Chain A
Amino acid sequence: MSKAMEPDLQTPLGRASGQASKEWRHPSDNWLRGFILDNRAALGTLGVFIVMMAAFMIANPTVFTTWYLYSSVLTTLPVALFVVVPLVFVVTCGEIDLSFPATMGFASWVFALVVQAGYDPFLGIAAAILTGTLLGFLVGSLVVYGGLSSLIATLGMNFLLRGLIQIINEGKSTALTGLSDSWAYAIFSSQVWGIPVQIFWAIAFVVFSALLYNRHRFGAQVKVVGDNPDSAKQMGIDVKRVRVKVFVFVGIGAAIAGTFSVMINFTWWPTAGDGYLLPVLASVFVGGTPTWGGIGTVVGGAIGAVTVSFIQTGVVAAGLSGFYVQFFNGLIIILSLLGHKWNQARYR
């Protein structure tokens, strides 16, 4: 076919170039409106967080203006962030992963073993991430190639892996006394200008993942697969491979999270990661990622994690007894879901 045979596709209703391109130029009337439309779920989550913090401030101004409160939240929050963000990918892909607490425990166990054996903690981190990758691949393959429901299969894997840890360790923990002198600790778990350094790594991870989600082929395919797997398949996307990849991503995130949690405490417990299951899941949905797949927000999920972390600290610091924590957790989740439902339409 010669160039001369090219179709004269310029003629139909729209004129080829010139004025038509101007009409098509901008996503919205102005950049601010476009920005708000593109990020309405994340902005909604931010709104919830600000209102909640304002309520805490009013309830107890003295506690909420002390740095110590924020410092303690900033130490533990990164652990949650490293799993909340990959879970946004999983939920967007139309799946769920409940096995990450056990993956956190398993990967950090490998880290503890390597460090205890006298190797450099960097090697331990590498081994932990490798473990997380393999476990993520295992869980993902089981769900995708086994054709199992991810809700049930990952719940099963969570029990199975945790059981393995408990059987082998018989409930004993591992103390890592030499860790605080290592380079790895200084880089990943110390403080700079009084700020826990973990939060910088977590922020870097969130930014990288947000780019991966919005500006990378992986994110684009995850969204399409979650939106309409049949169409994705018809357009030549390897749907199964994309699904396995999101589970691998969770495995990696869980491994980093587990390692960070061990470095905070200098001790590995056989229950490491267990407490994160519900707060992390809540963070994803409080953050504005809907349950039905296809869309989501990484930044929203991160803000959701911040919100959830502050509920517990905030309720206690505001002078209420610990018995109120669960009640407020539930309240925030329900209010957020109602807000997001009103905030975003579902297209079919």
Chain B
Amino acid sequence: MGERIIELRDIKKSYGQVYALGGVNLSVDRGEVVGLIGDNGAGKSTLIKILSGVVRPTSGEILVRGEPVTGWSAARSRDAGIETVFQDRALAVQQTIVRNIFMGRELTGFLGWLKVNKEIEEASRLMREIGFTSKVFTPHSIVGQLSGGERQGVAIARAIYKQAELIILDEPTTALSLTETAKVFHFVRQVRASGRSILFIGHNIHHVFDIADRFVVLDRGKVALTADRSEVKSAEDLINFMEDVAHPGGLPGLHEGAEAEQRA
């Protein structure tokens, strides 16, 4: 598929005695959508925090476009072309849409003075591009007044502003309506079509299955499975696999149920 945007090698992260990640290898190539799934406590959030630079790994190597990085931080991650849409959306709800889109990346001119008009212009353009326009809100609207889907739109607009090469979507469809979910899916397909990459983290395996080119299953801090789309026939396969991983001996009754569903 071409160039490797980011690669994690043997990433470990421990909080005191507890290992959240115990040696994870993960890579994302240009133009692919990688679906990351895993149960609660599998280490998904820690992995996202490491990718976005919020948390530093205890050990392991991070390579951006083949080059090992040093001094990894949130600012460095964004500079490297990695944007994250966090599950909680990471918005400052008392601020305007403009201020949120340019959070940490203010458009400034002479001596750090803001280019206010340019920011408004760009914010309007971004919101239009992703289809989150309305007569009700403007770039000056306070984010706290927006609905969940509209807030998601602001977070996504912020992520696409700098033509990011990798966009990490952490549970982007949680708590969204069907139309809003469809918008997010549409957005993911557009980004892929443009030759950029997405790491899609989802609780809903059906959502991930619908959208991803490659699946990575995380379990208790380790990668339990990496599979191309061609290797997985249905979302049920993934669900069964995850159940197997979670309960190696198999839970009595659980498997029969799943198989019965498949037969039916």
Bound complex: CA A21 to CA B160 (Å): 19
A330 to chain B, nearest CB (A): 28
Task: Number of B interface residues at 8 Å Cβ cutoff, please give it.
Answer: 57
A288 to chain B, nearest CB (A): 14
Bound complex: CA A16 to CA B193 (Å): 18
Residue pair B103, A232 in contact (C-beta under 8 Å) = yes
Closest to A293 in B: B94
- B194 within 8 Å of A (CB atoms): yes
- A294 within 8 Å of B (CB atoms): yes
Which single member of B95, B130, B142, B144 contacts A9 (CB below 8 Å)?
Answer: B130
Residue pair B91, A1 in contact (C-beta under 8 Å) = no
Bound complex: CA A273 to CA B139 (Å): 43
- B140 within 8 Å of A (CB atoms): yes
A-B contact count, CB below 8 Å? 148
Residue pair B78, A235 in contact (C-beta under 8 Å) = yes
Which single member of B112, B130, B145 contacts A217 (CB below 8 Å)?
Answer: B112
A298 to chain B, nearest CB (A): 15
Residue pair B133, A14 in contact (C-beta under 8 Å) = yes
Within 8 A of A (CB), among B110-144: 112-114, 116, 124, 127-133, 135, 138-140, 142-144
Task: Number of A interface residues at 8 Å Cβ cutoff, please give it.
Answer: 46
Most chain A beta carbons < 10 A, residue from B78, B84, B92, B124: B92
Given A24-B128, A217-B106: A228 touches B195 (CB 8 Å cut-off) = no
- B73 within 8 Å of A (CB atoms): yes
Residue pair B131, A224 in contact (C-beta under 8 Å) = no
Residue pair A12, B195 in contact (C-beta under 8 Å) = no
B227 proximity list for chain A (CB < 8 A): none
Within 8 A of A (CB), among B62-115: 73-78, 84, 86, 88, 90-95, 99, 102-106, 108, 112-114
Residues of chain A touching chain B, judged by Cβ–Cβ distance below 8 Å, are 1, 5-10, 12-16, 20-21, 23-24, 26-28, 34, 211, 215-218, 220-221, 223-224, 227-228, 230-238, 294-295, 345-348
Q: A27-B140, A235-B105 are in contact. List 8 more A-B contacts (CB 8 A).
A: A7-B190, A10-B129, A13-B133, A14-B129, A23-B135, A24-B139, A347-B144, A348-B93
- 30 pairs of residues in contact across A and B, judged by CB atoms under 8 Å: A1-B30, A5-B195, A7-B194, A8-B190, A8-B193, A9-B190, A10-B129, A12-B129, A12-B130, A21-B128, A24-B138, A24-B139, A27-B139, A28-B138, A215-B113, A215-B114, A217-B113, A217-B114, A220-B99, A221-B104, A227-B93, A227-B95, A228-B93, A232-B103, A234-B90, A235-B74, A236-B75, A236-B76, A294-B92, A348-B93
